[in-house]
């Protein structure tokens, strides 16, 4: 199963990921991404990868 990862040192709180997949991503009080789920089933992978790619600072990615 794939896993979604975040580099919090890059996150700037744009929240594009939240708009694209609010069941996987949220923004905390400091404006940083919070991973609500880390395991990504195959049926969700395309959608979560697109949400990760929507990050303008490339702070998110999905890996095997």
Give me the pLDDT at residue 5, please: 98
Mean pLDDT of 29-57: 98
Distance of CA 64 to the CA centre of its chain: 15
CA–CA separation, 57 vs 2, rounded Å?
Answer: 21
Query: Model confidence over 20-37: pLDDT tens digits?
Result: 999 999 999 999 999 999
CA–CA separation, 39 vs 3, rounded Å?
Answer: 5
How far CA 58 is from CA of 43, 49, 55, 61, in Å, comes to: 23, 11, 5, 7
pTM score of the predicted model: 0.95
**Where do the domains of the chain lie, and which CATH numbers do they carry?**
2-63 (3.30.70.20)
């Amino acid at each position: 199963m794939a896993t979604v990862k975040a580099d919090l040192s890059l996150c700037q709180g744009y929240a594009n990921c939240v708009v694209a997949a609010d069941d996987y991503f949220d923004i905390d009080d400091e404006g940083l991404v919070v991973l609500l789920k880390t395991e990504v089933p195959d049926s969700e992978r395309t959608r979560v990868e697109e949400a990760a790619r929507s990050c303008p600072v490339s702070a998110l990615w999905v890996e095997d």
